[in-house]
Structure 1
Amino acid sequence: MEIEYQYHFSLPRSVVWKYIKNERVLKNALPGCRSFSMVSNNIYKAEMDIHIGPIQDLFTLEIRLDEDQAPSLIELHIKGNGNMGQLNGQALLMLKENQGTTMLSCKANGQVTGALGLAGKRILDSSANKGLENFFQILEKEIKRRIYELKRRNR
């Protein structure tokens, strides 16, 4: 499965870069996330409810972030296990500054096995794109909420 996705943040790249790696922000932004914590430098563990078509499962994920070129490129490596299958994937997140806003481009590929793999490419691709769209929309709202709270506390 290969995915290409773009999202436009109405925030500067430095702000997106700072918060896109914050475990509290990520936990609140990931749909179906039950837990999310850093276990070591740039390695996170998460538990997420996954809904793909008629399939529902709880997945345990390990997510590794590699910051190749701060603040413009993050490489993700994801491994996950659930009762209905496993997933392995990689993604490149490229952030470009554009007049005080940020264009994020995501290129990802992954392998899905078990009952999830049997769900079919069309269902998986559609679910992945909807999931990315929801994630980045919620992420932007969560970042803006954090900025607002910081400004309010500093008054």
Structure 2
Amino acid sequence: MKFEYEYTFGLPRNIVWKYIKDEKVLRNSLPGCKSFSEVARGVYQAEVEIKMGPIQDHFVLEIRLHEKKPSSIIQLQVIGSGNIGEISGKAELYFNDQQRMTQLNCKAEAQVTGALALAGQRVLEGGANKGLETFFQKVEKEIKRSLYYLKKKSR
């Protein structure tokens, strides 16, 4: 399954780039996240609860972030398993300046197995798009929250 997603952050690219790899921001932004920790540089372990229509499961994920081009491209790999299947995927996130904002383009592909694969491509794509939308909205909110507390501390 391949898909693309776009999101515009109301923040400059250097700020988005700095915080999009922050463990706290990621933990607080990942939908259904039960635990999240960095186990090595750029490697994270997460437990998430996934709900897509009639599908509900608890997944353990390994997420690897690699800066392919500093402040412009992040390569992401995810592998995980739950009770109803396994998922593996990769994505490239492209960050571009857009009038003091940041345009993010995500190109991804994923493979699912088990009962999860039986859900059908439409359900999975719809769930993936909704999950990405929620994730990036929460990332932006978490970045703004971090900046607010940073300003408050410096006063």
What TM-score range do you get, normalising by the shorter chain?
A: over 0.9
Partner of 1:38: 38
Partner of 2:92: 92
Q: How many residues align?
A: 155
Partner of 2:101: 101
Partner of 2:142: 142
Cα-to-partner distance string for 1:3-59 (whole Å, 9 max, x where unaligned): 100000010001000110001000101110011110001100000001122111110
Deviation of 1:120 after TM superposition, in Å, equals: 0.3
Q: Distance in 2 between matches of 1:150 and 1:111?
A: 40
Q: State the 4+ residue runs in structure 1 displaced beyond 6 angstroms.
A: none
Deviation of 1:100 after TM superposition, in Å, equals: 1.2
- Root-mean-square deviation over aligned CA pairs: 0.6
Q: Distance in 1 between matches of 2:52 and 2:28?
A: 20
What are the ranges of 5 or more consecutive residues in structure 2 without an aligned counterpart?
none
Cα-to-partner distance string for 1:80-110 (whole Å, 9 max, x where unaligned): 0101100000000000011211000000000
Name the aligned partner's letter for residue 111 of structure 1. Q
- Summarize the alignment of residues 11-50 of structure 1 with structure 2, pairs less than 5 Å apart: 11-50=11-50
What are the ranges of 5 or more consecutive residues in structure 1 without an aligned counterpart?
none
Partner of 1:151: 151
Partner of 1:125: 125
Q: Distance in 1 between matches of 2:79 and 2:31?
A: 17
Name the aligned partner's letter for residue 124 of structure 1. L
1:59 aligns with 2:26: no
- TM-score normalized by the length of structure 2: 0.99
Partner of 1:10: 10
Name the aligned partner's letter for residue 97 of structure 1. D
Q: Distance in 2 between matches of 1:52 and 1:111?
A: 16
